[in-house]
Amino acid sequence: MSFDGYKEVINEGDTVILYLTISQVYNVKAEGKTLNKKGQQVENIFQTPYGALKCAELIGKTYGTKIQLSKGWGYILQPTPELWTITLPHRTQIIYTPDISMIILQLEIKPGSIVIESGTGSGSLSHALIRAIKPQGHLYTFDFHELRTKTAGQEFQDHGLANYVTVTHRDVCCNGFGEDLNEKADAVFLDLPHPWLAVPHAVKALKSIGGRLCSFSPCIEQVQKTCCELKNFGFQEIQTLEVLQTQYNVQIRQFPTLDVEFLKYPKTEEVEKKDREVQKCLTAIPPAQQPGHTGYLTFASLYPIWARTVNKNEVDSD
């Protein structure tokens, strides 16, 4: 129950974050026993580069505690959607935090929002959506891969989030989101290989007062098809963007000073001393490598029902 609000003390069954370094962050379950590959109950021991962690020892500790490992130490942190995204077990490609933040902002998701998502995948985006719509809102998430829906459903249960989310096993391109959700959603999010097939179903699911849609696609050809279909079905304000995050490192650096006047003189002890002088500067260092392309985000608005114009089969050149 560790995702649903802040807690002081780690209880048995909590999912916690083990932070060793900025690139060595893991999720661990605070449970004394676990099942091995043969299905037998064994002691739950998590191996880290700094030694083994007996997970039973986490129970009763305070979040934020520094824990000793045989070859170093780590910190036990509260899980958040951001930490879950970087530590979750990958069952599919996932959506990362820079894209997630843009999705939540552009879809205008807030506490109380009713949101539809497909596919559920590994549940990376779902966790962030649930935090944004809590406590009165609801997330309806769909995937046509049965095991993925079951695993995601179990994770939501384990994380204490089950009341805020309904997981459904369904092919949304063929069968839509279901009559129960007609005109219920404030926002629809699509992360599908053929998102344009789900657009007519999104129109049915969005509220009659209108709503927002987002489609995430890695390829520009998917974007083109989706934009055409969005236009056909009366969406407005269609906009595609790509989020490329550049993180700067602000730090004090030392640089050798170069005094050209001194270069003229013979190398006396005084000149050599001047050569070795350094100057301290406050710098902002760009990353050595720029993070690459993840996907394109297409956003669109469906206006209130009385203001909609449907351009079926009429894609013009503007």
Ligand X SMILES: C[S@@+](CC[C@H](N)C(=O)[O-])C[C@H]1O[C@@H](n2cnc3c(N)ncnc32)[C@H](O)[C@@H]1O
Per the annotation, does 191 bind a ligand?
A: yes
Measured between alpha carbons, how far is 310 from 318 in angstroms, rounded to an integer?
16
Question: 33 to 92, contacts with ligand X by CB under 6 A?
Answer: 92
CA distances (Å), origin 175, targets 199, 202, 228, 306:
12, 11, 21, 26
Q: Is 172 in the site for ligand X (CB under 6 A)?
A: yes
Q: Which of 2, 44, 113, 122 binds ligand X (CB under 6 A)?
A: 122
CB 126 within 8 A of CB 152: yes
Q: Which of 125, 181, 203, 223 binds ligand X (CB under 6 A)?
A: 125
Q: Is 171 in the site for ligand X (CB under 6 A)?
A: yes
Supply 164's token pair.
């805020």
Q: Is 199 in the site for ligand X (CB under 6 A)?
A: no
Q: Is 115 in the site for ligand X (CB under 6 A)?
A: no
Q: Is 94 in the site for ligand X (CB under 6 A)?
A: yes
Q: Are strands 138-143 and 165-169 parallel, antiparallel or unpaired?
A: parallel
Measured between alpha carbons, how far is 225 from 221 in angstroms, rounded to an integer?
6
Short-list 69, 79, 133, CA closest to 107: 133
Short-list 117, 160, 165, 156, CA closest to 137: 165
Q: Is 118 in the site for ligand X (CB under 6 A)?
A: yes
Instruction: Tell me phi and psi for residue 18, to 5 degrees.
Output: -100, 110
Supply 138's token pair.
């609801």
Q: How far is the CB of 145 from ligand X (least distance, A)?
A: 4
Q: Is 191 in the site for ligand X (CB under 6 A)?
A: yes
Q: Which residue has the tokens 């760009």?
A: 286
Q: Is 144 in the site for ligand X (CB under 6 A)?
A: yes
Short-list 63, 66, 87, 90, CA closest to 77: 63
Q: How far is the CB of 147 from ligand X (least distance, A)?
A: 10
Q: Is 95 in the site for ligand X (CB under 6 A)?
A: yes
User: Quick one: 121 or 137, whose CB is closer to ligand X?
Assistant: 121
Count CB neighbours of 91 within 10 A: 16
Q: How far is the CB of 21 from ligand X (least distance, A)?
A: 25
Per the annotation, does 122 bind a ligand?
A: yes
Per the annotation, does 143 bind a ligand?
A: yes
Q: Is 30 in the site for ligand X (CB under 6 A)?
A: no
Under DSSP, is residue 221 helix (H, G, I), strand (E, B) or coil?
helix
User: DSSP character for 37?
Assistant: T
Q: Is 124 in the site for ligand X (CB under 6 A)?
A: yes
Q: Which of 192, 205, 223, 297 binds ligand X (CB under 6 A)?
A: 192
Per-position x/- string for 224-243, each x denoting binding to ligand X as judged by CB under 6 A, each - no binding: --------------------
Q: Are strands 236-241 and 138-143 parallel, antiparallel or unpaired?
A: unpaired
User: Quick one: 114 or 297, whose CB is closer to ligand X?
Assistant: 297
Measured between alpha carbons, how far is 55 from 48 in angstroms, rounded to an integer?
12
Selected range binding ligand X among 30-38, 143-151, 240-248, 255-263, rule: CB under 6 A: 143-151
Q: Is 132 in the site for ligand X (CB under 6 A)?
A: no
Q: Which residues bind ligand X (CB under 6 A)?
A: 92-95, 118-119, 121-125, 142-145, 148, 171-173, 191-193
For the annotated binding site for S-adenosyl-L-methionine, the residues are 122-125, 143, 171, 191
